[in-house]
């Protein structure tokens, strides 16, 4: 049986499988990858040897010179279908599509060089006007995909995206979460009364602190009337965090109001917007033109509003974190900047203040 032979390169450890066949030593290059992946490939090669089959005849290295980016994208998508989250698959297909559109969908992936990758970065920045964050996201996605061409597909032996440094992203001061005052909440609810579905959705965001898509993905099956709670969050999301949220009197009234317009052809609670989420942003653009509302008003502003007023009311941060679906309480503590100003307002009402002034 053969063995693994590691070799140090400027890109990392490159592995080869060395074995003896018909009295001669042969080598199969696995490429730059982890020891775990190399061991997995070693087992596969040894299985062929045990069956009396030359491992080299079973590798698909010959595809390296023929498989195009378009064909590779299809192959990788099939592999990812049962292993990756839908959003990751979507990002991968998009990144390969953008790269293939520039490099040439029918050109072999083995022709991609480090110089091509650098030219692709310039193309994204200068022609597509992509920002550094978008470019870096595509680079990470492409690097992961082409690493699979080594680790899982056995097509390439080197990753052309390996070692490519991400673009510098200008640092921005972390802005404090914006939230609506009580007066602004009343105003927002009032000016949207002539748009019942938008009004209901806004009230739901304010009552639950749900993320935009958590409201749109909510189904009637997610509402547990017996235990008076709704289940928010998608188990297929990146965090897979699904959480119960208690149904308050106001929320119960709102859900029963929505139920009067229930769509028999859809199980979605907010079916009116669920298939066209982009319309929500357009509706908010129109609403925030009001001079007394923030000019960056969005569904996430309402999530901030829910969290901020909960903490101002004295609800403990752990409970608020559970309601919001924050895995770390430190994330919820970002709203803590509200507490000092609130505390200053409250201390003025303390009886001692009046006594000392007297």
Q: pLDDT tens digits, residue range 233-276?
A: 876 555 457 899 999 999 999 999 999 999 999 999 999 887 66
Domain ranges, residue 306? 182-347
Do 97 and 241 fall into the same domain? no
Is it the case that residue 50 has pLDDT exceeding 50?
yes
Q: What average pLDDT score do residues 317-339 get?
A: 79
- The pLDDT of residue 345: 59
**CATH number of the domain enclosing 86:** 1.10.150.130
- The pLDDT of residue 139: 95
**CATH number of the domain enclosing 241:** 1.10.443.10
- The pLDDT of residue 28: 83
- The pLDDT of residue 349: 58
- Rounded to whole angstroms, the Cα distance separating 40 from 263 reads 51
- The pLDDT of residue 241: 72
Q: Is residue 358 part of a domain?
A: no
Do 218 and 341 fall into the same domain? yes
Tell me the per-residue pLDDT of 77-90, one tens digit each, with 9 for 90 and over: 999 988 888 778 88
Do 336 and 189 fall into the same domain? yes
- Confidence band for 94, pLDDT divided at 50, 70 and 90: very high
> How many CA atoms within 13 Å lie on the side-chain side of 63?
17
- The pLDDT of residue 61: 46
Do 110 and 238 fall into the same domain? no
- The pLDDT of residue 123: 94
Backbone angles phi, psi at 45, to 5 degrees: -65, -40
Q: What average pLDDT score do residues 269-293 get?
A: 82
Nearest to 146 by CA among 102, 119, 108: 108
Tell me the per-residue pLDDT of 55-73, one tens digit each, with 9 for 90 and over: 877 665 444 457 899 999 9
- Rounded to whole angstroms, the Cα distance separating 78 from 74 reads 6
Domain termination site, one of 39, 59, 79 = 59
Is it the case that residue 356 has pLDDT exceeding 90?
no
Q: What is the mean pLDDT of the chain?
A: 84
DSSP 3-state assignment of 108?
Answer: strand
pTM (predicted TM-score): 0.55
Range scoring the smallest mean pLDDT among 74-78, 116-120, 337-341:
337-341
Do 253 and 332 fall into the same domain? yes
Q: Is residue 159 part of a domain?
A: no
Q: Is residue 230 part of a domain?
A: yes
Do 103 and 189 fall into the same domain? no
Do 217 and 266 fall into the same domain? yes
Q: Is residue 170 part of a domain?
A: no
Do 188 and 329 fall into the same domain? yes
Nearest to 216 by CA among 286, 267, 253: 267
Do 145 and 286 fall into the same domain? no
- The pLDDT of residue 278: 67
Nearest to 218 by CA among 75, 304, 207: 207
Do 215 and 198 fall into the same domain? yes
Do 33 and 142 fall into the same domain? no
Q: Is residue 177 part of a domain?
A: no
- The pLDDT of residue 169: 84
Q: Is residue 165 part of a domain?
A: no
Domain termination site, one of 131, 151, 171 = 151
Q: Is residue 211 part of a domain?
A: yes
Q: What average pLDDT score do residues 291-311 get?
A: 89
What is the dihedral angle through the alpha carbons of 42, 43, 46, 50, rounded to the nearest 10 degrees? 180
The proportion of the chain whose per-residue pLDDT surpasses 70, expressed as a percent, equals 87
Q: Is residue 262 part of a domain?
A: yes
Tell me the per-residue pLDDT of 183-231, one tens digit each, with 9 for 90 and over: 999 999 999 999 999 999 999 999 999 998 899 889 999 999 999 999 9
- Confidence band for 311, pLDDT divided at 50, 70 and 90: confident
- Confidence band for 337, pLDDT divided at 50, 70 and 90: low
Do 91 and 37 fall into the same domain? no
Contacts 24+ apart (CB under 8 A), 200-204: 200/254, 200/257, 200/258, 200/270, 201/270, 201/273, 201/280, 202/302, 203/250, 203/254, 204/251, 204/254, 204/270
Per the structure, how many domains does the chain have?
3
């Amino acid at each position: 049986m053969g063995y693994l032979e590691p070799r140090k390169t400027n890109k990392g450890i490159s592995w080869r499988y060395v074995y003896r066949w018909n009295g001669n030593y042969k080598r199969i290059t696995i490429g730059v990858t982890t020891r775990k992946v190399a061991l997995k490939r070693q087992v596969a090669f040894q299985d062929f040897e045990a069956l009396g089959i030359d491992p080299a005849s079973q590798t698909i290295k010959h595809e390296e010179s023929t498989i195009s980016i378009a064909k590779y994208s299809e192959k990788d998508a099939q592999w990812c279908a049962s292993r990756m989250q839908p959003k990751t698959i979507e990002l991968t297909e998009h990144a390969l599509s953008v790269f293939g559109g520039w490099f040439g969908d029918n050109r072999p992936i083995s022709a991609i060089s480090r110089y091509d990758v650098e030219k692709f970065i310039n193309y994204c920045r200068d022609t597509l006007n992509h920002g550094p964050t978008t470019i870096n996201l595509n680079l990470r996605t492409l690097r992961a995909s082409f690493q699979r061409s080594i680790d899982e597909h056995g097509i390439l032996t080197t990753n052309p995206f390996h070692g490519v440094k991400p673009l510098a992203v200008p640092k921005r001061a972390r802005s404090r979460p914006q939230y609506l005052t009580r007066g602004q909440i009343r105003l927002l609810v009032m000016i949207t009364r002539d748009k019942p579905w938008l009004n209901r959705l806004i009230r739901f965001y304010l009552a639950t602190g749900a993320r935009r898509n958590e409201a749109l993905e909510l189904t009637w099956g997610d509402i547990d009337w017996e235990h008076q709670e709704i289940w928010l969050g998608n188990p297929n999301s990146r965090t897979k965090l699904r959480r119960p949220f208690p149904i308050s009197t106001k929320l119960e009234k709102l859900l029963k109001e929505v139920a009067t317009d229930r769509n028999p052809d859809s199980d979605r609670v907010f079916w009116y917007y669920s298939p066209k989420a982009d319309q929500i942003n357009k509706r908010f653009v129109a609403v925030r033109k009001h001079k007394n509302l923030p000019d960056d008003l969005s569904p996430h502003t309402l999530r901030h509003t829910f969290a901020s007023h909960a903490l101002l009311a004295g609800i403990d941060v752990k409970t608020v974190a559970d309601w919001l679906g924050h895995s770390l309480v430190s994330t919820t503590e970002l709203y803590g900047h509200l507490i000092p100003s609130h505390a200053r307002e409250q201390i003025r009402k303390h009886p001692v203040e009046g006594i000392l002034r007297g």
